[in-house]
Structure 1
Amino acid sequence: MTLNINNPIKFDYIIYTDGACIGNPGPGGWAAIIFYGKDKNIISGFEKQTTNNRMELIASIEALKYIKTKSKINLFTDSKYIIDGIKVWIKNWKLNNWKTKTNKDVKNLDLWKELDDLHGFHSIQWTWVKGHSGDKYNDEVDLLARGEAEKI
């Protein structure tokens, strides 16, 4: 897929996010590439002890928090956990008082609630991209996230 950052079609922003973890749990990193017109911004960070799923969530959250005004966004991630969570599971979690279908506590609840709030603020198209498949920006954000995890 080729991204035309000069013409984001109907979106104000195009975002690529990724999370990485050395061991799971272990040191982790996250990164996001945020396109606005011709501008490209990179944000990233790390945690000393975390999980891959937490890093994926934090990458999406931090990218969406970076955008201060209500916007139309296409967010690309290679995380099925994020895609399934936001598109499928979260509705039922909320109806079930933040419990899974087996009545267990939702893992990473603090982050899912924050992501849900941001999802309600922005208009977001969540797009899954296959990891390590040659997508230029997914590969770039993967390297950035892994680089953050390796800082520790």
Structure 2
Amino acid sequence: MSELKNVTIYTDGSCIGNPGPGGYGVVLLFGNHRKELSGGFRMTTNNRMEIMAAIVGLESLKDTCRVTLYTDSQYLANAIMQGWAQRWRANGWMRNKKEKAINPDLWDRLLKLCDRHEVEFVWVKAHAGNRENERCDQLGREAASRSNLPPDPGYEAGLAKDQTWARLF
């Protein structure tokens, strides 16, 4: 069995208003190779774009890899590294006995990718001079500003309704 490739991924999500037009930016680094990805949706939330950035980065990997994924979203990093998202899935996408989990469509996709790859999520402070985080922020803001953005099917299906809780992170 061959050794896993070590890949570094930086991600960021952006939203003009929350909710509003949103975008994500991703920088992938492997050895001397660099790849940048971005995209957006006409109506979404910042948290959905944070999760989407991680999904897009991980989905772009052709082989199973060992990944260090940097994010400025404590919501994203904590949900994975502290096991929140795994618990929500195990409990039928419920945060507790009364409250549904927010963004289950994206968390499900992300958890499946985390099962495929060895992923460590690392939180970095936003707007603190980290070159790659700043680049992801720029990519996400530019994507959110594009015209003719597609719909975010999960948002429009009502999977991100509880914005009060979502904005705490």
TM-score normalized by the length of structure 1: 0.90
SS at match of 2:138: helix
Aligned length: 143
Q: Where does residue 37 of structure 2 map in the other structure?
A: 43
SS at match of 2:93: coil
Is residue 2:117 matched to residue 1:118? no
Decide which of 106, 125, 129 is 1:130's aligned counterpart: 125
Q: Which amino acid aligns with 1:43?
A: L
Distance in structure 1 (CA, Å) of the matches to 2:119 and 2:71: 12
Distance in structure 1 (CA, Å) of the matches to 2:105 and 2:90: 17
Distance in structure 2 (CA, Å) of the matches to 1:11 and 1:100: 34
Q: Where does residue 154 of structure 2 map in the other structure?
A: none
C-alpha contact (below 8 Å) 2:81/2:120 kept by paired residues? no
Is residue 2:80 matched to residue 1:86? yes
Moved over 3 A (4+): none
Decide which of 47, 51, 62 is 1:57's aligned counterpart: 51
Q: What are the ranges of 5 or more consecutive residues in structure 1 without an aligned counterpart?
A: 1-9
Displacement, 1:102?
A: 4.7
Displacement, 1:28?
A: 0.5
SS at match of 1:84: helix
Distance in structure 2 (CA, Å) of the matches to 1:61 and 1:17: 9
Q: Where does residue 67 of structure 1 map in the other structure?
A: 61
For residues 87-127 of structure 1, the C-alpha deviation after alignment (integer angstroms, 9 at most, x for no partner) is 22123213322200253111110000000000000001110
SS at match of 2:95: coil
CA RMSD of aligned residues (A): 1.3
Percent identity between the two aligned chains:
38
